[in-house]
Structure 1
């Protein structure tokens, strides 16, 4: 006997609203204020929320509400791979701790000696060598969606180049051999972030052209590129090249960062110091004596005005020996007559990796 319409099960309707009791624009306004470290849990609330952390609209709203955050991203070389794997620093509210969690790595994982710059919510991986051959490839990480895309190639292949961002341009210096005219005119070049294209930058004389750069920074509208024996400084506004102060070169070790036009790094004694380019003097950062001495394997980044430091430490013994990645975040300020003081906000182990691993770089992106 055929059933009547009254016997049919009622139709179920699925609400596509973010929060059923609120209009979507109001709900989005609320959800955009949720801190980034809660997004993994947010995606578990419902099917509607599942794709929300990957929504460009969410990040547009966060920007309009000034609810963006500065998030740390870290590249680590983990054997047997010669390339870098990528992680982001996540705050775990339940234990009030911080840990590195993996994200998709660069599609060209074998790059060695790349240059890195962060521009807003994006991180650019520039050049690097593949099987000892310098590459002109450039990759860009979208830190909002954790996706990678190819960017137009540089004019020449580079490894261990210096890079910095000024007024919508990425400047890349060195990292290539200047053994012929074609390479010499491209020893330095710049990338137009808006037009997404490269162009040459008139470079200085051969006497200051070095192939490999061990550090770089942007201070006072200038790009500083420190080479193995000396360095150069370029001011895009006046298109002028110069030589950095000798005092700056002598005190610079490891991956440095700039906060309010002061360069921070660690010195040959493993202490954190800050360099003021106006006063041309290095000063030790006081108040952080509980941190270890950074003789090697440390890198720094400006995380929203605070000094983020990552370093390598050992864990375990014998055949089970591992390496721990440790981190700290320091609030820095100037006091008195040029003194620099730091207040440690947190410090602790954030990841454990196989021995012989190495921190490649860390950068901060705004999402």
Structure 2
């Protein structure tokens, strides 16, 4: 059976001149700009391909101004000094004045520390790579590094004061438990000797409760919060699982990771990780696979040496590592950083190194321990 040809009056629009209709096209520009200001920056390239109008709005100074008024997050990079074990040290990177580095670094770097000598059983926050999360301007650390503990420490980044928070119900190992934030509440998963229930902490009421009745035995190397799930890198076997307050724990990737993961973080609703051999990668939550972060040409996989910590800074991926330099017999240790701008191009995410340089230098050994994005 043949299909009748369309008449000249019924011909489909020419492909070259046809633009798909958009629900945004009927809205005023100020409304569209308000919507675009809340879209991750890595999607700007895809949005600009939709229409000429959206392309001009994405590139407009008005959108930059709107985004500048959104709540800002600074990077808090914690480190441990063997010379001062009773102090908690951190470096804050926030938008500010220019400092001299290899490239232009439009950030303000602030060094701060607080004494732990007056606290009972100091948490030694920077000694181990335990879990830590931020809610608003506060950072929450578990204590169980040397042995399982119910202690929770809270750092107020505005005042620089640290205090002990309400105790958890179950003692857990801080370097084996997973922590994440969903709807402003902190969830703690696994990390105990025996099977235990997931606990949830409400910062507003300052109370702990069990989340559900199921008991699990779970050990994690890294964890990260994304939307309504907490993604975890399991220790044995090393694979990706996720916890949802509604659905419980599910296995996201059944195959065991064959490459060692050094660190993991979330930047604008995408999980990124640095692997020892594969370099920088991102996790496709739809297909449940790891994809390589490639350069702006889409050809070369981005490597950032052996990244020790990563975090989000102004929509960019901030990668940190340390490097020792011997000058005339004096060993100096630098903390180095690369800022990587991200663009989503079709099914790929591409990165471009836009800033690079030394954040801080020390005349004594240090170890990086935590990297968190915190609301000012």
TM-score by length of 2: 0.68
**1:322 CA displacement:** 2.5
Structure 2, gaps ≥5 residues long: 1-67, 117-121
Q: Is the 8 A contact 1:127 1:157 kept in 2?
A: no
Q: Which residue of 2 aligns with 1:6?
A: none
Aligned residues: 289
Q: Which residue of 2 aligns with 1:23?
A: none
Provide closer, same or farther for how the CA distance between residues 356 and 146 of structure 1 changes in structure 2, counting only shifts above 3 A: closer
Q: Is the 8 A contact 1:322 1:352 kept in 2?
A: yes
Q: 1:156 aligned to 166, 170, 178, which one?
A: 170
Q: Which residue of 1 aligns with 2:30?
A: none
**Is structure 2 residue 81 aligned with structure 1 residue 78?**
yes
Secondary structure (helix, strand or coil) at the match of 2:159 reads coil
Counterpart CA distance in 1 for 2:329 and 2:278 is: 29
**Is structure 2 residue 147 aligned with structure 1 residue 133?**
yes
**1:185 CA displacement:** 3.2
Q: 1:223 aligned to 222, 226, 230, which one?
A: 230
Q: Which residue of 1 aligns with 2:42?
A: none
Provide closer, same or farther for how the CA distance between residues 348 and 171 of structure 1 changes in structure 2, counting only shifts above 3 A: same
Q: Which residue of 2 aligns with 1:241?
A: 249
Provide closer, same or farther for how the CA distance between residues 290 and 92 of structure 1 changes in structure 2, counting only shifts above 3 A: farther
**1:294 CA displacement:** 3.4
Provide closer, same or farther for how the CA distance between residues 272 and 192 of structure 1 changes in structure 2, counting only shifts above 3 A: same
Q: Which residue of 2 aligns with 1:201?
A: 211
Q: Is the 8 A contact 1:267 1:273 kept in 2?
A: yes
**Is structure 2 residue 98 aligned with structure 1 residue 93?**
yes
Q: Which residue of 2 aligns with 1:253?
A: 261
Counterpart CA distance in 2 for 1:86 and 1:135 is: 24
**1:355 CA displacement:** 5.6
**1:291 CA displacement:** 7.1
**1:333 CA displacement:** 1.5
Counterpart CA distance in 1 for 2:265 and 2:209 is: 26
**1:176 CA displacement:** 2.1
**Is structure 2 residue 177 aligned with structure 1 residue 173?**
no
Counterpart CA distance in 2 for 1:252 and 1:221 is: 26
**1:279 CA displacement:** 2.2
**1:284 CA displacement:** 1.7
Q: Is the 8 A contact 1:99 1:350 kept in 2?
A: no
Structure 1, gaps ≥5 residues long: 1-64, 179-183
Q: 1:306 aligned to 289, 312, 316, which one?
A: 316
Provide closer, same or farther for how the CA distance between residues 122 and 250 of structure 1 changes in structure 2, counting only shifts above 3 A: farther
**1:265 CA displacement:** 0.9
Q: Is the 8 A contact 2:304 2:319 kept in 1?
A: no
Counterpart CA distance in 2 for 1:143 and 1:177 is: 32
C-alpha offsets along residues 32-69 of structure 1, whole Å, 9 cap, x if unaligned?
xxxxxxxxxxxxxxxxxxxxxxxxxxxxxxxxx94643
Provide closer, same or farther for how the CA distance between residues 94 and 303 of structure 1 changes in structure 2, counting only shifts above 3 A: closer
Provide closer, same or farther for how the CA distance between residues 326 and 171 of structure 1 changes in structure 2, counting only shifts above 3 A: same
**Is structure 2 residue 192 aligned with structure 1 residue 192?**
no
Counterpart CA distance in 1 for 2:301 and 2:243 is: 37
**Is structure 2 residue 284 aligned with structure 1 residue 284?**
no
Q: Over the residues paired in the alignment, what is the CA RMSD in angstroms? A: 2.9
Provide closer, same or farther for how the CA distance between residues 202 and 305 of structure 1 changes in structure 2, counting only shifts above 3 A: same
**Is structure 2 residue 140 aligned with structure 1 residue 124?**
yes
Provide closer, same or farther for how the CA distance between residues 311 and 213 of structure 1 changes in structure 2, counting only shifts above 3 A: same
Provide closer, same or farther for how the CA distance between residues 156 and 298 of structure 1 changes in structure 2, counting only shifts above 3 A: same
Counterpart CA distance in 1 for 2:354 and 2:93 is: 15
Q: Which residue of 1 aligns with 2:370?
A: 361
Q: Which residue of 2 aligns with 1:41?
A: none
Secondary structure (helix, strand or coil) at the match of 1:144 reads coil
Provide closer, same or farther for how the CA distance between residues 225 and 94 of structure 1 changes in structure 2, counting only shifts above 3 A: closer
* Larger displacement relative to structure 2 (71-80 or 355-364): 355-364
Q: Which residue of 2 aligns with 1:37?
A: none
Higher RCO (CA < 8 A, seq sep 6+): 2
**1:163 CA displacement:** 0.6
Q: Which residue of 2 aligns with 1:143?
A: 157
